Homo-oligomer: A and B are copies of this chain.
Amino acid sequence: MRFRIAPPSPDLVASAAMKKLRTAVIGTGFIGRVHVENVRRLGIEVSAIGGRRPEAVRAVADALGIEKAETDFLKIVEDPSIDAVHICTPNVVHFNIAKAALDAGKHVLCEKPLATSIQEARTLVETARARNRRNCTCHNLRYYPMVQHMRRMREDGDLGEILVVQGTYSQDWLLYDTDWNWRIDPRENGPSRALADIGSHWCDMAEHITGQRITALCADLQTFHKTRKRPKGPIETFAGKTLSPEDYVPFAIDTEDFASVVFHMGDRTRGAFTASQVSAGRKNQLSIEIYGSKASVAWNQERPDELWIGNRNINNQVIVKDPSLMKERARSYADLPGGHSEGYADTFKQVFRRFYRSIEEPAAEPEYPQFSDGLRQLNILEIELASHQRRGWMEVPL
Protein backbone atom coordinates (compact mmCIF):
# COMPACT_ATOMS: atom_id res chain seq x y z
CA MET A 1 0.00 0.00 0.00
CA ARG A 2 1.27 3.41 -0.94
CA PHE A 3 0.81 6.61 0.88
CA ARG A 4 -1.48 9.05 -0.84
CA ILE A 5 -1.67 12.71 -0.05
CA ALA A 6 -4.89 13.16 -1.87
CA PRO A 7 -6.34 14.58 -3.96
CA PRO A 8 -3.50 14.85 -6.44
CA SER A 9 -2.61 18.41 -7.29
CA PRO A 10 -2.97 19.66 -10.81
CA ASP A 11 -0.19 20.89 -13.01
CA LEU A 12 -1.58 24.37 -13.42
CA VAL A 13 1.86 25.77 -13.76
CA ALA A 14 2.57 28.12 -16.60
CA SER A 15 5.73 30.05 -15.81
CA ALA A 16 6.90 33.49 -15.02
CA ALA A 17 8.56 33.78 -18.39
CA MET A 18 5.42 32.81 -20.29
CA LYS A 19 3.66 35.53 -18.36
CA LYS A 20 5.63 38.11 -20.33
CA LEU A 21 4.59 36.84 -23.75
CA ARG A 22 2.02 38.91 -25.63
CA THR A 23 -0.33 37.52 -28.15
CA ALA A 24 -3.11 38.47 -30.56
CA VAL A 25 -6.20 36.68 -31.75
CA ILE A 26 -7.58 37.28 -35.24
CA GLY A 27 -11.25 36.37 -35.49
CA THR A 28 -14.10 37.52 -33.26
CA GLY A 29 -16.44 34.57 -33.61
CA PHE A 30 -17.09 31.77 -31.16
CA ILE A 31 -13.73 30.11 -31.55
CA GLY A 32 -11.79 33.37 -31.35
CA ARG A 33 -13.36 34.08 -27.99
CA VAL A 34 -12.51 30.58 -26.79
CA HIS A 35 -8.89 31.27 -27.70
CA VAL A 36 -8.86 34.59 -25.83
CA GLU A 37 -10.24 33.08 -22.68
CA ASN A 38 -8.01 30.05 -22.62
CA VAL A 39 -4.76 31.74 -23.42
CA ARG A 40 -5.48 34.04 -20.49
CA ARG A 41 -5.64 31.06 -18.12
CA LEU A 42 -1.89 30.82 -18.58
CA GLY A 43 -1.40 34.41 -17.50
CA ILE A 44 -0.52 35.50 -21.04
CA GLU A 45 -1.80 38.84 -22.19
CA VAL A 46 -4.01 39.13 -25.25
CA SER A 47 -3.06 42.56 -26.43
CA ALA A 48 -4.93 42.75 -29.73
CA ILE A 49 -7.91 41.25 -31.52
CA GLY A 50 -8.65 41.40 -35.23
CA GLY A 51 -11.91 41.28 -37.16
CA ARG A 52 -13.56 42.36 -40.38
CA ARG A 53 -16.02 45.05 -39.32
CA PRO A 54 -14.67 48.01 -37.31
CA GLU A 55 -17.57 48.43 -34.88
CA ALA A 56 -17.89 44.73 -34.27
CA VAL A 57 -14.25 44.15 -33.47
CA ARG A 58 -14.12 47.19 -31.19
CA ALA A 59 -17.21 45.96 -29.35
CA VAL A 60 -15.72 42.52 -28.83
CA ALA A 61 -12.42 44.00 -27.70
CA ASP A 62 -14.23 46.14 -25.15
CA ALA A 63 -16.38 43.30 -23.92
CA LEU A 64 -13.30 41.13 -23.43
CA GLY A 65 -11.12 43.91 -22.06
CA ILE A 66 -8.58 43.79 -24.92
CA GLU A 67 -6.66 46.96 -25.69
CA LYS A 68 -6.24 46.96 -29.45
CA ALA A 69 -8.95 46.22 -32.02
CA GLU A 70 -7.83 46.00 -35.63
CA THR A 71 -9.53 45.39 -38.95
CA ASP A 72 -6.30 45.23 -40.91
CA PHE A 73 -4.57 42.02 -39.94
CA LEU A 74 -1.27 43.39 -41.16
CA LYS A 75 -1.31 45.89 -38.32
CA ILE A 76 -1.38 42.97 -35.95
CA VAL A 77 1.15 40.73 -37.59
CA GLU A 78 3.58 43.60 -37.98
CA ASP A 79 3.23 44.87 -34.41
CA PRO A 80 6.66 44.27 -32.86
CA SER A 81 5.23 43.99 -29.33
CA ILE A 82 3.35 40.83 -30.25
CA ASP A 83 5.04 37.43 -30.07
CA ALA A 84 2.39 35.11 -31.48
CA VAL A 85 -0.82 35.17 -33.48
CA HIS A 86 -3.89 32.93 -33.22
CA ILE A 87 -5.83 32.63 -36.50
CA CYS A 88 -9.54 32.03 -35.88
CA THR A 89 -11.06 33.38 -39.09
CA PRO A 90 -13.08 31.65 -41.81
CA ASN A 91 -10.96 29.06 -43.57
CA VAL A 92 -10.32 30.89 -46.84
CA VAL A 93 -8.23 33.60 -45.21
CA HIS A 94 -6.13 31.29 -43.02
CA PHE A 95 -3.40 31.17 -45.62
CA ASN A 96 -2.91 34.87 -46.17
CA ILE A 97 -2.79 35.72 -42.51
CA ALA A 98 -0.57 32.81 -41.54
CA LYS A 99 1.85 33.55 -44.35
CA ALA A 100 2.06 37.21 -43.46
CA ALA A 101 2.47 36.47 -39.76
CA LEU A 102 5.30 34.01 -40.37
CA ASP A 103 6.97 36.44 -42.74
CA ALA A 104 6.74 39.06 -40.02
CA GLY A 105 8.49 36.69 -37.63
CA LYS A 106 5.49 35.73 -35.52
CA HIS A 107 4.82 32.30 -34.10
CA VAL A 108 1.49 31.14 -35.50
CA LEU A 109 -1.30 28.99 -34.10
CA CYS A 110 -3.94 28.41 -36.78
CA GLU A 111 -7.37 26.84 -36.55
CA LYS A 112 -8.01 23.84 -38.75
CA PRO A 113 -8.24 23.28 -41.64
CA LEU A 114 -4.85 24.93 -42.05
CA ALA A 115 -5.75 26.11 -45.55
CA THR A 116 -8.19 25.36 -48.34
CA SER A 117 -5.68 23.77 -50.71
CA ILE A 118 -2.71 21.48 -50.41
CA GLN A 119 -0.51 23.98 -52.18
CA GLU A 120 -1.28 26.70 -49.65
CA ALA A 121 -0.68 24.32 -46.78
CA ARG A 122 2.66 23.23 -48.24
CA THR A 123 3.73 26.83 -48.55
CA LEU A 124 2.88 27.44 -44.92
CA VAL A 125 4.81 24.39 -43.75
CA GLU A 126 7.82 25.51 -45.73
CA THR A 127 7.59 29.13 -44.61
CA ALA A 128 7.40 28.16 -40.97
CA ARG A 129 10.46 25.96 -41.41
CA ALA A 130 12.37 28.65 -43.30
CA ARG A 131 11.45 31.32 -40.75
CA ASN A 132 12.06 28.92 -37.87
CA ARG A 133 8.83 29.89 -36.19
CA ARG A 134 6.65 27.79 -33.91
CA ASN A 135 3.57 26.65 -35.78
CA CYS A 136 0.47 24.83 -34.65
CA THR A 137 -2.65 23.56 -36.38
CA CYS A 138 -5.26 23.59 -33.65
CA HIS A 139 -6.28 19.93 -33.56
CA ASN A 140 -7.15 20.51 -29.93
CA LEU A 141 -9.35 17.42 -29.60
CA ARG A 142 -6.23 15.27 -29.26
CA TYR A 143 -5.70 16.83 -25.87
CA TYR A 144 -8.62 15.51 -23.86
CA PRO A 145 -6.93 13.59 -21.05
CA MET A 146 -8.55 10.31 -22.05
CA VAL A 147 -7.40 10.68 -25.65
CA GLN A 148 -3.83 11.03 -24.49
CA HIS A 149 -4.31 8.02 -22.24
CA MET A 150 -5.44 5.97 -25.25
CA ARG A 151 -2.42 7.14 -27.21
CA ARG A 152 -0.03 6.14 -24.45
CA MET A 153 -1.74 2.78 -24.01
CA ARG A 154 -1.12 2.11 -27.69
CA GLU A 155 2.48 3.27 -27.48
CA ASP A 156 3.08 0.95 -24.54
CA GLY A 157 1.63 -1.99 -26.46
CA ASP A 158 -1.39 -2.39 -24.19
CA LEU A 159 -3.65 -2.77 -27.22
CA GLY A 160 -1.40 -5.15 -29.14
CA GLU A 161 -1.61 -4.96 -32.91
CA ILE A 162 -4.34 -2.54 -34.01
CA LEU A 163 -6.91 -4.49 -36.00
CA VAL A 164 -9.90 -2.20 -36.43
CA VAL A 165 -10.56 1.54 -36.08
CA GLN A 166 -14.10 2.83 -36.43
CA GLY A 167 -16.34 5.66 -35.37
CA THR A 168 -18.07 8.84 -36.37
CA TYR A 169 -18.10 12.57 -35.99
CA SER A 170 -21.79 13.42 -35.99
CA GLN A 171 -23.56 16.70 -35.32
CA ASP A 172 -27.03 18.02 -36.04
CA TRP A 173 -26.59 21.77 -36.38
CA LEU A 174 -27.12 21.76 -40.17
CA LEU A 175 -30.04 19.32 -40.23
CA TYR A 176 -32.60 21.77 -41.61
CA ASP A 177 -32.41 23.77 -44.81
CA THR A 178 -32.96 26.89 -42.72
CA ASP A 179 -29.68 26.36 -40.84
CA TRP A 180 -27.13 28.83 -42.09
CA ASN A 181 -23.50 29.55 -41.28
CA TRP A 182 -20.47 30.78 -43.16
CA ARG A 183 -19.31 27.17 -43.47
CA ILE A 184 -22.13 26.55 -45.94
CA ASP A 185 -20.67 29.01 -48.41
CA PRO A 186 -17.68 27.45 -50.21
CA ARG A 187 -16.30 30.91 -50.87
CA GLU A 188 -15.61 31.21 -47.15
CA ASN A 189 -15.21 27.58 -46.25
CA GLY A 190 -13.58 25.82 -49.21
CA PRO A 191 -14.75 22.85 -51.27
CA SER A 192 -15.58 20.36 -48.48
CA ARG A 193 -17.80 20.78 -45.44
CA ALA A 194 -18.48 17.75 -43.23
CA LEU A 195 -15.17 16.08 -44.03
CA ALA A 196 -13.09 19.25 -43.81
CA ASP A 197 -14.71 20.55 -40.64
CA ILE A 198 -15.19 17.42 -38.55
CA GLY A 199 -14.03 14.43 -40.58
CA SER A 200 -10.52 15.91 -40.42
CA HIS A 201 -10.72 15.91 -36.60
CA TRP A 202 -11.65 12.23 -36.69
CA CYS A 203 -8.82 11.25 -39.03
CA ASP A 204 -6.30 13.33 -37.09
CA MET A 205 -7.33 11.61 -33.90
CA ALA A 206 -7.28 8.14 -35.46
CA GLU A 207 -3.76 8.63 -36.81
CA HIS A 208 -2.57 10.33 -33.63
CA ILE A 209 -3.76 7.58 -31.30
CA THR A 210 -2.78 4.62 -33.46
CA GLY A 211 0.49 6.06 -34.73
CA GLN A 212 -0.47 4.68 -38.14
CA ARG A 213 -1.32 6.34 -41.43
CA ILE A 214 -4.41 5.84 -43.54
CA THR A 215 -3.08 4.22 -46.72
CA ALA A 216 -6.15 3.74 -48.91
CA LEU A 217 -9.80 4.68 -48.75
CA CYS A 218 -13.14 4.64 -50.46
CA ALA A 219 -15.36 7.61 -49.65
CA ASP A 220 -19.00 8.32 -50.40
CA LEU A 221 -20.44 11.83 -49.96
CA GLN A 222 -24.00 13.01 -49.88
CA THR A 223 -25.58 16.44 -49.96
CA PHE A 224 -29.12 15.95 -48.68
CA HIS A 225 -30.09 19.59 -49.03
CA LYS A 226 -29.26 20.55 -52.59
CA THR A 227 -30.59 24.00 -51.82
CA ARG A 228 -30.52 25.90 -48.52
CA LYS A 229 -32.14 29.16 -47.50
CA ARG A 230 -29.60 31.95 -47.21
CA PRO A 231 -30.74 34.93 -45.15
CA LYS A 232 -30.66 38.28 -46.93
CA GLY A 233 -28.66 40.98 -45.18
CA PRO A 234 -26.49 40.65 -42.06
CA ILE A 235 -26.77 37.12 -40.82
CA GLU A 236 -26.62 37.68 -37.07
CA THR A 237 -29.87 39.63 -37.16
CA PHE A 238 -31.74 36.49 -38.14
CA ALA A 239 -30.56 34.21 -35.35
CA GLY A 240 -33.53 32.41 -33.86
CA LYS A 241 -36.06 34.24 -36.00
CA THR A 242 -38.96 32.62 -37.80
CA LEU A 243 -38.32 32.66 -41.48
CA SER A 244 -40.42 34.52 -44.04
CA PRO A 245 -39.90 33.95 -47.76
CA GLU A 246 -38.80 37.55 -48.22
CA ASP A 247 -35.99 37.05 -45.68
CA TYR A 248 -33.97 34.57 -47.70
CA VAL A 249 -32.70 33.58 -51.07
CA PRO A 250 -32.26 29.98 -52.20
CA PHE A 251 -28.61 28.95 -52.19
CA ALA A 252 -27.41 25.95 -54.21
CA ILE A 253 -25.24 23.60 -52.16
CA ASP A 254 -22.49 21.37 -53.42
CA THR A 255 -20.58 20.67 -50.22
CA GLU A 256 -21.38 17.47 -48.37
CA ASP A 257 -23.74 17.11 -45.41
CA PHE A 258 -22.54 13.57 -44.83
CA ALA A 259 -19.74 11.21 -45.79
CA SER A 260 -18.95 7.59 -45.12
CA VAL A 261 -15.45 6.25 -45.58
CA VAL A 262 -13.92 2.77 -45.42
CA PHE A 263 -10.17 2.70 -45.20
CA HIS A 264 -6.95 0.75 -44.75
CA MET A 265 -4.38 1.85 -42.20
CA GLY A 266 -0.81 0.73 -41.74
CA ASP A 267 -0.18 -2.80 -42.98
CA ARG A 268 -3.24 -4.71 -41.92
CA THR A 269 -5.56 -2.39 -39.99
CA ARG A 270 -9.07 -1.86 -41.35
CA GLY A 271 -11.63 0.76 -40.54
CA ALA A 272 -14.64 2.90 -41.30
CA PHE A 273 -16.00 6.24 -40.20
CA THR A 274 -18.80 8.63 -40.99
CA ALA A 275 -18.95 12.42 -40.73
CA SER A 276 -22.34 14.07 -40.49
CA GLN A 277 -23.79 17.49 -39.83
CA VAL A 278 -27.37 16.27 -40.17
CA SER A 279 -27.68 13.58 -37.46
CA ALA A 280 -30.55 14.65 -35.20
CA GLY A 281 -29.68 14.47 -31.53
CA ARG A 282 -25.91 14.22 -31.95
CA LYS A 283 -24.59 17.53 -30.79
CA ASN A 284 -20.86 16.97 -31.01
CA GLN A 285 -20.32 13.26 -31.03
CA LEU A 286 -16.82 12.35 -32.04
CA SER A 287 -16.66 8.70 -31.16
CA ILE A 288 -13.71 6.47 -31.90
CA GLU A 289 -13.24 2.78 -31.23
CA ILE A 290 -9.88 1.08 -31.60
CA TYR A 291 -9.75 -2.70 -31.46
CA GLY A 292 -6.42 -4.35 -30.91
CA SER A 293 -5.21 -7.91 -30.67
CA LYS A 294 -4.86 -7.52 -26.88
CA ALA A 295 -7.46 -4.95 -25.87
CA SER A 296 -9.70 -2.21 -27.21
CA VAL A 297 -10.59 1.36 -26.33
CA ALA A 298 -13.67 3.45 -27.08
CA TRP A 299 -14.18 7.12 -26.42
CA ASN A 300 -16.88 9.70 -27.13
CA GLN A 301 -16.37 13.44 -27.00
CA GLU A 302 -19.83 13.95 -25.51
CA ARG A 303 -18.55 12.17 -22.36
CA PRO A 304 -14.92 13.18 -22.60
CA ASP A 305 -13.81 12.12 -19.12
CA GLU A 306 -14.80 8.49 -19.69
CA LEU A 307 -12.89 5.74 -21.41
CA TRP A 308 -14.06 2.22 -22.15
CA ILE A 309 -11.43 -0.50 -22.34
CA GLY A 310 -12.57 -3.75 -23.91
CA ASN A 311 -11.11 -7.13 -23.08
CA ARG A 312 -11.77 -10.69 -24.15
CA ASN A 313 -10.67 -12.79 -21.21
CA ILE A 314 -10.98 -10.34 -18.33
CA ASN A 315 -13.62 -7.77 -17.45
CA ASN A 316 -14.02 -4.67 -19.52
CA GLN A 317 -13.02 -1.46 -17.78
CA VAL A 318 -14.45 2.02 -17.58
CA ILE A 319 -12.32 4.89 -16.43
CA VAL A 320 -13.68 8.09 -15.02
CA LYS A 321 -10.71 10.33 -15.62
CA ASP A 322 -8.33 10.16 -12.69
CA PRO A 323 -4.73 11.27 -13.02
CA SER A 324 -3.65 8.65 -10.50
CA LEU A 325 -4.87 5.94 -12.90
CA MET A 326 -3.48 7.48 -16.08
CA LYS A 327 -0.39 6.54 -18.00
CA GLU A 328 2.44 8.60 -16.61
CA ARG A 329 3.14 10.27 -19.94
CA ALA A 330 -0.53 11.24 -20.29
CA ARG A 331 -0.89 12.64 -16.79
CA SER A 332 0.20 16.20 -17.54
CA TYR A 333 -2.88 16.53 -19.79
CA ALA A 334 -5.16 16.21 -16.75
CA ASP A 335 -5.08 19.24 -14.47
CA LEU A 336 -7.83 18.18 -12.09
CA PRO A 337 -8.19 15.24 -9.69
CA GLY A 338 -10.32 12.16 -10.36
CA GLY A 339 -13.94 12.84 -11.23
CA HIS A 340 -13.46 16.59 -11.63
CA SER A 341 -14.45 16.90 -15.25
CA GLU A 342 -12.30 18.58 -17.86
CA GLY A 343 -14.07 19.82 -20.92
CA TYR A 344 -13.70 21.35 -24.33
CA ALA A 345 -12.16 24.62 -23.15
CA ASP A 346 -9.53 22.73 -21.21
CA THR A 347 -8.18 21.11 -24.40
CA PHE A 348 -7.28 24.55 -25.71
CA LYS A 349 -5.43 25.34 -22.52
CA GLN A 350 -3.37 22.18 -22.97
CA VAL A 351 -2.42 23.09 -26.55
CA PHE A 352 -1.67 26.69 -25.70
CA ARG A 353 0.45 25.84 -22.67
CA ARG A 354 2.64 23.60 -24.78
CA PHE A 355 2.75 26.05 -27.67
CA TYR A 356 3.91 28.92 -25.48
CA ARG A 357 6.36 26.77 -23.57
CA SER A 358 7.96 25.83 -26.88
CA ILE A 359 8.40 29.50 -27.73
CA GLU A 360 10.33 29.99 -24.53
CA GLU A 361 12.40 26.88 -25.08
CA PRO A 362 13.54 27.04 -28.70
CA ALA A 363 15.37 23.72 -28.53
CA ALA A 364 12.39 21.75 -27.30
CA GLU A 365 10.46 19.33 -29.48
CA PRO A 366 6.93 20.62 -30.05
CA GLU A 367 4.28 18.58 -28.22
CA TYR A 368 1.32 19.82 -30.24
CA PRO A 369 0.07 19.46 -33.82
CA GLN A 370 2.26 21.15 -36.40
CA PHE A 371 1.37 22.80 -39.69
CA SER A 372 2.56 19.53 -41.22
CA ASP A 373 -0.31 17.81 -39.41
CA GLY A 374 -2.69 20.30 -40.98
CA LEU A 375 -1.18 19.52 -44.38
CA ARG A 376 -1.59 15.80 -43.71
CA GLN A 377 -5.32 16.25 -43.19
CA LEU A 378 -5.62 18.20 -46.43
CA ASN A 379 -3.91 15.33 -48.23
CA ILE A 380 -6.44 12.86 -46.85
CA LEU A 381 -9.28 15.21 -47.68
CA GLU A 382 -8.18 15.53 -51.29
CA ILE A 383 -8.21 11.76 -51.68
CA GLU A 384 -11.61 11.49 -50.03
CA LEU A 385 -13.09 13.96 -52.50
CA ALA A 386 -11.39 12.26 -55.43
CA SER A 387 -12.50 8.81 -54.32
CA HIS A 388 -16.08 10.01 -54.23
CA GLN A 389 -15.73 11.55 -57.69
CA ARG A 390 -14.21 8.42 -59.15
CA ARG A 391 -16.49 6.18 -57.16
CA GLY A 392 -13.80 3.80 -55.98
CA TRP A 393 -10.81 3.02 -53.83
CA MET A 394 -7.75 5.27 -53.94
CA GLU A 395 -4.34 5.17 -52.31
CA VAL A 396 -3.48 7.92 -49.85
CA PRO A 397 0.10 9.25 -50.15
CA LEU A 398 1.92 8.87 -46.84
- Chain A residues within CB distance 8 Å of chain B: 1-10, 12-16, 18-20, 29-30, 33-34, 36-38, 40-43, 62-66, 163-164, 166, 168, 170-176, 178-181, 218, 220, 222, 224, 229, 231, 235-236, 238-243, 247-248, 257-258, 260-262, 264, 268, 270-274, 276, 278-285, 289, 291-296, 301-306, 308-322, 324-325, 335-346, 391-393
Closest chain-B Cβ to A130's Cβ sits at a distance in Å of 32
Q: How many copies altogether?
A: 4
Contact among B168, B176, B222, B311 for A4, CB-based, below 8 A: B176
* Known contacts A10-B33, A243-B2, A271-B260; A172/B312 CB under 8 A: yes
Closest chain-B Cβ to A205's Cβ sits at a distance in Å of 16
Closest chain-B Cβ to A304's Cβ sits at a distance in Å of 5
Chain B residues near A322 (CB-CB < 8 A)? 283
Please measure, in the bound complex, the distance between the C-alpha atom of A350 and the C-alpha atom of B335, giving whole angstroms.
19
Chain B residues near A235 (CB-CB < 8 A)? 5
Please measure, in the bound complex, the distance between the C-alpha atom of A18 and the C-alpha atom of B62, giving whole angstroms.
10
Docked-complex contact A63 and B166, CB < 8 angstroms? no
15 A-B residue pairs with Cβ-Cβ distance under 8 Å, sorted by A, are A3-B243, A10-B30, A14-B63, A14-B64, A40-B40, A163-B224, A176-B312, A258-B270, A262-B262, A280-B294, A280-B312, A281-B310, A284-B337, A285-B339, A336-B343
Contact among B12, B231, B272 for A64, CB-based, below 8 A: B12
Contact among B36, B220, B229, B270 for A260, CB-based, below 8 A: B270
Chain B residues near A20 (CB-CB < 8 A)? 65
Docked-complex contact A171 and B339, CB < 8 angstroms? yes
Please measure, in the bound complex, the distance between the C-alpha atom of A128 and the C-alpha atom of B20, giving whole angstroms.
37
* Known contacts A36-B12, A43-B65; A279/B296 CB under 8 A: yes
Chain B residues near A279 (CB-CB < 8 A)? 163-164, 289, 291, 296, 310
Top 7 closest A-B pairs, CB basis? A281-B310, A284-B339, A19-B65, A283-B339, A283-B338, A341-B343, A343-B343
Closest chain-B Cβ to A212's Cβ sits at a distance in Å of 15
Docked-complex contact A180 and B12, CB < 8 angstroms? no
Please measure, in the bound complex, the distance between the C-alpha atom of A239 and the C-alpha atom of B3, giving whole angstroms.
6
Chain B residues near A268 (CB-CB < 8 A)? 222, 224
Question: Given A2-B178, A12-B37, A164-B276, list of 17 further CB < 8 A pairs?
Answer: A3-B240, A3-B248, A5-B236, A6-B179, A12-B33, A15-B63, A16-B65, A38-B41, A163-B257, A220-B270, A260-B271, A261-B272, A283-B321, A315-B325, A345-B346, A391-B393, A392-B393
Contact among B14, B66, B164 for A258, CB-based, below 8 A: B164
Which residue of chain B has the shortest Cβ distance to A222 in the bound complex?
B270
Docked-complex contact B283 and A4, CB < 8 angstroms? no
Chain B residues near A3 (CB-CB < 8 A)? 178-180, 229, 231, 238-243, 247-248
Docked-complex contact A262 and B218, CB < 8 angstroms? yes
Docked-complex contact B320 and A317, CB < 8 angstroms? no
Which residue of chain B has the shortest Cβ distance to A257 in the bound complex?
B163
Docked-complex contact A305 and B308, CB < 8 angstroms? no
Chain B residues near A62 (CB-CB < 8 A)? 15-16
